[in-house]
Amino acid sequence: MIVRTIGKYSNRVTVVRTCLVKQLLCAIVAEFDGGSSRLTFQPINGGNSHTITVPSILGYNNLYLEEFVSMEIVPGQLGHILLLCGTRNGVVVVLRIDEDSLQILESTCHRVGATPVLIKREESGSKELFLANCDSKLYALRLATSRMGITRPDNERFIDQIWLTDAESTGRQQPNINSVVGLPQGTGGINDGILIIDGSQLIVAGLSTQSKTVPRQIPIGGTPSRLLYSQTFECLIVAATIDGKSALKFLDPVTGQDIAWPFVKWKDPAKKQNLDKKKDSEKKIYVPLNSGESVPGLGNTDDKIFRLMEWTYVKDGQTWIYLVVCTSAGRLLLIDVKNLDDSDYSKLLQREGTSPIRPRLRYLSKHRFKVASQKPIYSVAGSESGLYYCAGNVLHFDILDESQHGFVNLAKYELPSPALNLVYEDGKIYALTSAHSLEILEVVTETTGTEVKFIRTHGDQVTRHSLHHRVIGLHSESPLNLISDKACSIAGLWATRNTNADTLDTVFEAELPYSIVKFRFGKCRPIWDPIWSSTDSNRVEAPTSPLVTNSANYPEILGLSIDGSLCHFMVLDYESWKFLRFLLNLAMQSSDVCEFTDTSSDIGQLQPILGPKVMMQVDGDILRRCLENRYLEDLLQVNADRGNAKEIQATFRSLLQGLHRGSLGNHAPLSTLVERAYTDLEFFLRPVF
């Protein structure tokens, strides 16, 4: 063996790779000096080396970079060297280096986790897919080649998390991936196969390069009616009907196991004496129930759970968190959930004999009552001092009074029809009724503090058969009320102020092919999404409107439709709406995009208009077809010099400039603006998960 030294470096070398630089084989040596990384290009056959310093803070999101722990070279670049680097603190760095000057021309970075990122090229021969292992999870890094032949990260979906799924085992847990390697094409009859190490397991899987829904099923042994994820207890709380009776399940979202056991505050089995009414709290005995039994108030035949809610109750500077359960028979239960301690577990073992899985929670009925009318409790909302609930079409306000061992009613209000949804915020009740629409009530407390009144302040002028309601921008001056109904419509309502008759005015309407039965908010975008950064030169600047979900301060709006599909909604600012609605109007006059359209481009029907209110809707599914099939050139008649082409292109320029606050320049080529529009569509239409 012949050993030859071609260069000397510090003891902080973290990774080494080889690549061709102008047909000369070089080693790329990454070093870390404690503040920044250095990349040294060292010819293998000797010669002068060249060093590049990579800043410690990089990218539009100002991410701090620790040392590089992995590096891959993207092949097939003409005149450039494209490096994919993983850092010790969970960041993927993309560097484009000029092959002549060996200077960084372009750099981007994306956070994927907190632990070292190990990047490997997919071994099946693909030049566009790389695998990254971070936080015991697996990610795919996608590259795309532009029309100019330049390979860049795929703007629409550069990073994708890879999920393992098995059609025969839909409840399969995601493995903790320690290492991954791609398999050669066709190995073992699997195309695009990967080999994964999960602890002591060795897993072979086929890799699908198309994003799709990952099935996951958690059996509960009954029919679920309500679902709640508890941030407090880090579990899924499921209300279900099991053997015809109401029941609760507390499920670990990872394993799918029931992690809570029902207890009852009952009586001393030895003395057979009820201890509920005794003042000495140390004498209270909590006894585990038998397997399959329910806490008092549940387990009733033909009694369905209509509502689940976590309630934070505050009194005398102390805070308690309860689970509120409302049923179709007019029952309201306050469930107390606690961590299971060793003494509770000992009682459970005595009762059950053996328990293969130790529950980590116990729950019991703290308080419960049944309304006198025995009407179903359709909805509930909570404040720090009490609960608002609707039984039948009567709105109640009850406070918890421990001295009377239960709830005390302070106020009632008769609504025009039952409230399917209640929201309490800043002293106001938003009650969505089943047959009328939204009612806004102000909660007024008398000086004595013992009397409460409901005063109606606003109401919808339109009668709607409503399904669900959410308030967007609650803490802004003009919150927006989003309402869905049985007519497959969605309406956005503003509350008027200081007028002769304060009402809820319709801002926009949307027509869908299905009804939305539930709205949900969620900050569910991955950590590498540009929404989590304040500025980004490669995307539309986040508008300043407090209602726009292009900001990390506001959650995504998701809707569950009656046919089981999931929808994503975004409230746009005025400039964004005008631009996207113009593109939508163009697409709706094209038979290539909308198959059954048979009209030519009529400039009079292309301008965005504010009325009727349904014209405020932008159909993202149509715009996605324009993006995926790159229809913009045809829609804008880029190569045409006839008819309305010039007027259409002038409108497009004006609206795109408005979207970017006039920052694109007045003389930019049309082709450049079209590419900019594609990038903007990728931003607006990027996946929400």
Q: Are residues 154 and 194 in the same domain?
A: yes
Amino acid at 101: S
| C-beta atoms surrounding 379 within 10 Å | 24
Q: What is the mean pLDDT of residues 569-580?
A: 92
Selected residue with higher pLDDT from 576 and 277:
576
Instruction: Confirm whether 18 is domain-assigned.
Output: yes
Q: Are residues 584 and 553 in the same domain?
A: no
CA atoms of 202 and 552, how far apart (whole Å): 39
- pLDDT surpasses 50 at 540: no
- pLDDT surpasses 70 at 266: no
Amino acid at 16: V
Q: Are residues 516 and 626 in the same domain?
A: no
Q: Are residues 195 and 99 in the same domain?
A: yes
Q: Quick one: three-class SS letters along 208-272?
A: CCCCCCCCCCCCCCCEEEEEEEECCCCEEEEEEEECCEEEEEEECCCCCCECEEEEEECEECCCC
| C-beta atoms surrounding 260 within 10 Å | 22
pLDDT tens for residues 415-432? 999 999 999 998 999 999
The residue from 370, 393, 415 where one domain ends is: 370
SS3 call for 26: strand
Amino acid at 181: V
What's residue 658's pLDDT?
92
Could you identify the residue written with the tokens 């008027």? 496
Selected residue with higher pLDDT from 53 and 611:
53
Mean pLDDT (the chain) is 86
Instruction: Confirm whether 255 is domain-assigned.
Output: yes
Q: Are residues 184 and 317 in the same domain?
A: no
> Which domain, by its residues, includes 606?
572-685
Q: Are residues 492 and 515 in the same domain?
A: yes
Among positive and negative, which fits the CA dihedral 663, 144, 193, 167?
Answer: positive
Instruction: Confirm whether 453 is domain-assigned.
Output: no
Q: Are residues 168 and 46 in the same domain?
A: yes
Q: Are residues 157 and 54 in the same domain?
A: yes
pLDDT tens for residues 646-671? 899 999 999 999 999 888 888 889 99
SS3 call for 575: helix
Q: Are residues 496 and 465 in the same domain?
A: yes
| C-beta atoms surrounding 552 within 10 Å | 15
Q: Are residues 563 and 578 in the same domain?
A: no
Q: What is the mean pLDDT of residues 597-620?
A: 81
The residue from 180, 206, 232 where one domain ends is: 206
Query: pLDDT band for position 553 (50/70/90)?
Result: low
Instruction: Confirm whether 418 is domain-assigned.
Output: no
Among positive and negative, which fits the CA dihedral 600, 602, 603, 608?
Answer: negative
pTM of the model: 0.82
Instruction: Confirm whether 19 is domain-assigned.
Output: yes
The residue from 537, 570, 603 where one domain ends is: 570
Q: Are residues 560 and 590 in the same domain?
A: no
Number of structural domains the chain divides into: 4
Q: Are residues 345 and 225 in the same domain?
A: yes
Instruction: Confirm whether 505 is domain-assigned.
Output: yes
Instruction: Confirm whether 429 is domain-assigned.
Output: no
Instruction: Confirm whether 565 is domain-assigned.
Output: yes
Which strands form 305-315's sheet, in the order they lie side by side? 286-288, 260-265, 361-370, 331-339, 318-327, 305-315
